Amino acid sequence: MDNKHIVLLATGSFNPPTNMHLRMFEIARDHLNHLGFTVCGGLISPTHDLYKKKDLAPSIHRCAMIKQALVALPWVKISDWEVKQSCWTTTRNVLQYHQNFHDIIISSIRNGDEVDTSLFPVQFVKNINAKDLNQNMAINIRLLCGADLLESFAIPGLWKDDDIEAIVRDFGLVVVSRSGSNPHKFIYESDILTKYMANIIVVTEWISNEISSTKVRRALSRNESVKFLISDLVESYIKEHGLFGTLNK
Ligand SMILES: Nc1ncnc2c1ncn2[C@@H]1O[C@H](COP(=O)(O)OP(=O)(O)OP(=O)(O)O)[C@@H](O)[C@H]1O
Ligand SMILES: NC(=O)c1ccc[n+]([C@@H]2O[C@H](COP(=O)(O)O)[C@@H](O)[C@H]2O)c1
Ligand SMILES: [Zn+2]
């Protein structure tokens, strides 16, 4: 099976989405292109409200902010499947759902069936020509994350070993370095990650930038500037809805 066609899927809170979330996709795509992969598209899947992270804005606002942020990054789409479920979904199952969906689309196209393009960002398949489809072409949904998310695999009780193994075995990871983290050392120290090392691509961010949603929320609540840290459209949305302590500021 060919796994050269990749759709990058990023999970997280996106509370709010920052310019670094967008950069992560660009950095990863450049790196994968250099390695000979074809990046057919990207997806952002914000986590469910029941993930219960401190200060997590309601998903309706997080989805709206992501849509505003993605105006500047049209090759990446939001998937609101996760937030629409009745409870929180593990990352393994989020990946599996999106993998299944793409498998169905590819096989429908191969069979000449009608594909309901309103269902999903089928723009991914625009990048794929008919010749590819006639062969063994498949789309590989890969988890795109920062090194801190990778390192959270070691937090006791947070991730099931089974899930970690399935994520690296069945989908693969693209990990963008973040200051203070050492993904190569982390992989070396984990038996599961070492076993599936071939499926983990570490991308070094040479133009490192420590923008984080936490710092952006702090600046917003203090009425400090967040210009050039998040998109102007996201900033307007936040202020219009009084999110993150911006009410009456
Ligand atoms: N500056 C960054 N460099 C590399 N990866 C990043 C960066 N900021 C966010 N990410 C990655 O983006 C994904 C979503 O992250 P998340 O929504 O937690 O953003 P965050 O900025 O880390 O927010 P918070 O401060 O609330 O934890 C994660 O995989 C995270 O590692
Ligand atoms: N067991 C799991 O599948 C598991 C555990 C912890 C976090 N997660 C996901 O990782 C992401 C973490 O986001 P934050 O870095 O914003 O906390 C979220 O999308 C969350 O759903 C998954
Ligand atoms: Zn985070």
115: left (phi over 0), alpha (psi -120 to 50) or beta: beta
Residue to probe by mutation, ligand 2, list 20, 44, 47, 178, most atoms within 8 Å of CB: 47
**Domain 5-208: which topology?**
Rossmann fold (3.40.50)
pLDDT of residue 125: 59
Quote the pLDDT of residue 102. Answer: 86
What residues contact 147, with CB distance under 8 A and at least 6 apart? 175, 176, 177, 178, 181, 182, 183, 186, 202
Task: Choose among 246, 247, 241: nearest CA to 64.
Answer: 241
Above pLDDT 70, what percent of the chain?
A: 89
Q: Cα-flanking dihedrals φ and ψ of residue 91, to 5°?
A: -60, -35
Residue nearest to atom 3 of ligand 2 (CA): 90
The tokens for 93 are: 């199952």
Distance 46 CA to ligand 2 centre (A): 10
Give residue 181's pLDDT: 86
Gap from CA of 50 to ligand 3 centroid (Å): 16
Cα gap 120→42, rounded to integer Å: 12
Tell which one of 90, 98, 160, 192 to mutate to probe ligand 2, the residue whose CB is within 8 A of the most ligand atoms. 90
Q: What is the pLDDT of residue 133?
A: 65
Cβ of 170 below 6 Å from ligand 1: no
- Note the pLDDT of residue 145: 98
ipTM value > 0.85: yes
Instruction: Give the pLDDT score at 163.
Output: 98
Ligand 3 center to residue 152 CA distance, Å? 10
Nearest alpha carbon, ligand 2 atom 1 = 159
Q: Whose C-alpha lies nearest to ligand 2, atom 14? A: 12
Residues 43/79, Cβ–Cβ less than 8 Å: yes
CB 221 within 8 A of CB 247: no
pTM: 0.95
Residue stretches of the chain with pLDDT short of 70: 1-3, 115-135, 248-249
The C-alpha atoms of residue 182 and residue 200 are separated, in whole angstroms, by: 14
Alpha-carbon distance 11 to 79, whole Å?
A: 10
Q: Where are the domains of the chain?
A: 5-208
Q: Is the separation of the CB atoms in 217 and 55 below 8 Å?
A: yes
Q: Whose CA is nearest to atom 13 of ligand 2?
A: 12
